[in-house]
Structure 1
């Protein structure tokens, strides 16, 4: 099967900020939509590493300086090559963990670290890498290699603003492996909401890795919290986040505006990092549950395939995560409490009741003795 990996940013717009209108003002609506500043009262992502599976992250931009580690080129397999910093990966890393240095862009988890796992080239038309073919179950795709590397090198969250139209067995297995290691996986659902197919069928093609079970699929919303027209709509959508006119860091420094589910996914990966910082042992499925429970502005029916359960609220998600961990503690405490009382009686062994069996046996013996006695008396009378 051939699969082309795409970076799923729809467009990059001109940045309109000036000296009197800095990037922090431009991004205020994004932080407000996610209720990030309230969440920062609890955590800013300390102790968490987020793997960015994307083009390479520029470690020298001021917002990320000193907090980026780089893994090998995941697209090259056994042959390693030098990878240049990419525009898209740098932008996504800034949304996740930008420090706000010198009034610069601030990410959702500004104290988190970034593990850059390059597997795509975003300097060519189409933002893609050459197709790869999976020959049998042993072949690993670049994404499968990246997920295993992230899980084995300390990442607690993986952000994947990439997509392909075909699922691969090696990727499904790598997703299961990472989830089994407790790693939270977040992916963009794609930007196919305005395709001819989507208009005709009222649903979009599924994009992977967002479509794999256990991956948190993120749709894009606008400034009013409505689904962005380009955002893919299908059942891979779990939650949503801002994806229209979102300020991002440029490779080499500076800023620009982005549109796409890429930005939305990176922002939700940042919220997942906040949750893992505050509750490091919370398993991936409960992180997803906390994101869902804390979401706002959801559809009247509770869920739809356009915005999922609603727009992520970082502070509410942290509260939901605390309730989940609290529930676990209360159950454990209850078991201990109820186990400290008087020991229960040993259960009766299966089989006949010895007392009843004895009474029955005694009765049979008495009856037998009386029967024998009657026979003796009859015999004596005959004589």
Structure 2
């Protein structure tokens, strides 16, 4: 039971849409426009990058994902169990990131990436409201920590986490540090607590983890008009924002639905992070985060706020910012035949050991002292006589 409550989903509301609705590409175009994805596609579509989706299991038979999904073992328990049932939420998130657009179907932000699905037991009931959870320190390694380490060891360059719990866990902090140290970009939903009683009374929302861990890119949600979604959590874990309200997503099995929540926003930003890593694989996670923030549009008047962070992600501008960061060097090479500053080189240091001139002076001084001492004794003896 513990493994279920520690992997609560950052709520997603899925709504059925009529069969006679407009083609899915037309319905999702506003999302692609909001993120300026098509400009980024002139440079890359994410080929060569693997995005780990830590969520309910992804359905590998969805036509837009077929042939590009690897489903890992169930991370909800310590025992390795590979037979997992595809989940509604995980499939929707994977589609936002990686759907290929096959047969005029849904297209994700990074349609050429591969997906590593790492299943967790998540709550997919949109009507379920869970209170803040106390940190269970009796658990040595949480399911999320296990999933993060597995993702890194399997070569994922980006990890998408549209999940959240209240309260940090030591094993998760260590796993986050491990992933960042290996150059893996971590993206997470900040949560959907903007309308809770706590948020109304305190003017801020509960922190959700993993979004709250340092180094994790926390994503808030905006609507079609780029206004912050009322449900989106607002606190200092927010780095950037992306569409989250009324976002079309792929449905497990087939078909499409609409989503509401920071889950979708985080998945979309994970796709943009994958585009950056595909074009600039050497960028560190903090540089990817910096590129996303630097390229964001709709920046708040003060430059940053707790609702949308640095603004709404712009994939094209983020790639431009990444190009600048990719050209930065961490150190300046110095040729062997040159030195810092102008003028002559300092003289080489003298060899260690005694100074000959000083030894001679010391010896002469001792000799003079002895002569004077002996002379004094002779004078005293003569006076006595």
Q: Which range, TM-score by smaller chain?
A: 0.7 to 0.9
Kept in 2, the 8 Å contact 1:9–1:263? The answer is no
Which residue does 1:112 correspond to in 2?
Answer: 113
1:13 Cα deviation from its structure 2 partner: 2.8
Kept in 2, the 8 Å contact 1:189–1:237? The answer is yes
Using a 3 Å threshold, how does the CA distance of structure 1 residues 125 and 30 change in structure 2: closer, same or farther? closer
Which residue does 1:237 correspond to in 2?
Answer: 238
1:106 Cα deviation from its structure 2 partner: 0.7
The 1-side partners of 2:367 and 2:228 are apart by 90
1:226 Cα deviation from its structure 2 partner: 1.9
The 1-side partners of 2:164 and 2:223 are apart by 21
Which residue does 2:382 correspond to in 1?
Answer: none
1:181 Cα deviation from its structure 2 partner: 1.5
The alignment partner of 2:13 has SS state of strand
Which residue does 2:8 correspond to in 1?
Answer: 6
Question: Is the counterpart of residue 257 in structure 1 residue 254 in structure 2?
Answer: no
Which residue does 1:173 correspond to in 2?
Answer: 174
Which residue does 2:218 correspond to in 1?
Answer: 217
Comparing 263-272 and 69-78, the one that deviates more: 69-78
Which residue does 1:74 correspond to in 2?
Answer: 75
Comparing 44-53 and 2-11, the one that deviates more: 2-11
Which residue does 2:96 correspond to in 1?
Answer: 95
Kept in 2, the 8 Å contact 1:6–1:128? The answer is no
Which residue does 1:43 correspond to in 2?
Answer: 44
| Matching of residues 1-383 of structure 1 within 5 Å | 3-15=5-17, 18=20, 21-78=22-79, 80=81, 82-122=83-123, 134=136, 136=138, 139-328=140-329, 334-335=332-333, 338-341=335-338, 347-348=348-349, 358=357
The 1-side partners of 2:145 and 2:168 are apart by 11
The 2-side partners of 1:81 and 1:274 are apart by 29
Kept in 2, the 8 Å contact 1:121–1:127? The answer is no
Q: Can you give the 5+ residue segments of structure 2 that lack an aligned partner in the other structure?
A: 380-385
1:15 Cα deviation from its structure 2 partner: 3.0
1:120 Cα deviation from its structure 2 partner: 2.3
The 2-side partners of 1:32 and 1:340 are apart by 53
Using a 3 Å threshold, how does the CA distance of structure 1 residues 65 and 174 change in structure 2: closer, same or farther? same
Kept in 2, the 8 Å contact 1:282–1:325? The answer is yes
Using a 3 Å threshold, how does the CA distance of structure 1 residues 128 and 149 change in structure 2: closer, same or farther? farther
The 2-side partners of 1:232 and 1:45 are apart by 29
The 2-side partners of 1:132 and 1:205 are apart by 13
The 2-side partners of 1:223 and 1:133 are apart by 36
Q: Can you give the 5+ residue segments of structure 1 that lack an aligned partner in the other structure?
A: none
The 2-side partners of 1:128 and 1:141 are apart by 22
TM-score by length of structure 2 reads 0.86
TM-score by length of structure 1 reads 0.86
The 2-side partners of 1:304 and 1:132 are apart by 28
The 2-side partners of 1:101 and 1:45 are apart by 16
1:170 Cα deviation from its structure 2 partner: 1.3
The 1-side partners of 2:92 and 2:261 are apart by 12
Kept in 1, the 8 Å contact 2:187–2:217? The answer is yes
The alignment partner of 1:240 has SS state of strand
The alignment partner of 1:99 has SS state of coil
The 1-side partners of 2:175 and 2:228 are apart by 30
Q: How many residues in Structure 1 have an aligned counterpart in Structure 2?
A: 372
